[in-house]
Structure 1
Amino acid sequence: MSKITIDLENDPNLYFRIDNFTVPDAARAELEATMRRTQAFIQKLPGFRGHVVFEKTDGPTTFNIATIAVWESKEALDKAGERVRAYYKEIGFDMPTMLAHWGVKAELGNFNAPRGMQ
C-alpha cells in the first residue's frame, strides 16, 4: 500500500502523473496486472514519492479508474517517463496497442500544483 503525503508548503516542487481510464469489465484483470507490474517498477525509481489507484463509486464521468503517482520534481517525473518507456520496450509491451486491444480509453498527463491556485 502506498502512502502519499502532499505538503506543498514544504515541498512545492512535487509533480504528479494523473491517469484516468475507462476500463471495460472484460479488460479489468489484464489492466490491473499491468498496473501492478508498472507500480512495482516505478516505486524503485529515483524521486518516486508514492502512488494511489482510485476506483469511481459515483459521478457522471465515464472514467472508472484513476491513478496518481507523485514525484519529487519535474525532472524526476520526466526521467521516470523515459525509464518506463524503455522498460516497456524491453519487455515488449506496447501501451497504445494494448489499450486499444482491451477497449480501454485513457487520458494521461503530467501535472504540477500551482501555488497560486491552492
Structure 2
Amino acid sequence: MKQIFIDKFVIPENAKAEFFQRMTYNRTFLKKQPGFISDAAYERNDEHGNLVVVTVAIWESEDAIAKAKAAVQEEYKRIGFNMPAMLERLKITIERATYHEMGE
C-alpha cells in the first residue's frame, strides 16, 4: 500500500535560505531511493511572518520509507550533518507523520 510521508515546517524569516538549501539537497537525495514515487512542496506565510512549508513524498510501501530513512541517516553521517541541531539553531519547528490514502 502506498505511503505518504508529510512534513510541515515553520521557518523564521532569517532561516529561509539555509532551510531551502537543505530541503533541495534532501529532496534530490530522496528521489534516488528505491520505492520513491513522487514528491511535492507547498508554502505559505503565517500571521507571524514565518514561512510554512509542507512537503509530501509518496512511497511504494512502509518498507521503502524505512529504508529511505536509514539511507538519509547514513548520508547525514557521511556529510557530518545534524538535522536536530540545525532545526534548533534556526528555531524551525517540524511536524512529521506517515499517512495512507483513505478507502472509499
How does the TM-score come out when normalised to structure 2?
A: 0.89
Whichever residue aligns with residue 69 of structure 1, its letter is A
Residue ranges of structure 2 left out of the alignment (5+ in a row): none
**Alpha-carbon separation, structure 1, partners of 2:80 and 2:46:** 36
Quick check: 1:20–1:63 contact (8 Å CA) kept in 2?
no
- Considering only aligned residues, what root-mean-square deviation do their CA atoms show, in Å? 1.8
Decide which structure has greater strand share: 2
**Partner residue, 2:52:** 64
Whichever residue aligns with residue 22 of structure 1, its letter is V
**Alpha-carbon separation, structure 2, partners of 1:97 and 1:58:** 24
1:19-98 equivalent positions in 2, closer than 5 A:
19-56=7-44, 64-98=52-86
Residue 112 of structure 1, CA deviation = 1.8
**Partner residue, 1:113:** 101
Would the alpha carbon gap of residues 111 and 53 (structure 1) be closer, same or farther in structure 2, given more than 3 Å must change? same
- Percent identity reads 33
How does the TM-score come out when normalised to structure 1?
A: 0.79
Residue 114 of structure 1, CA deviation = 3.6
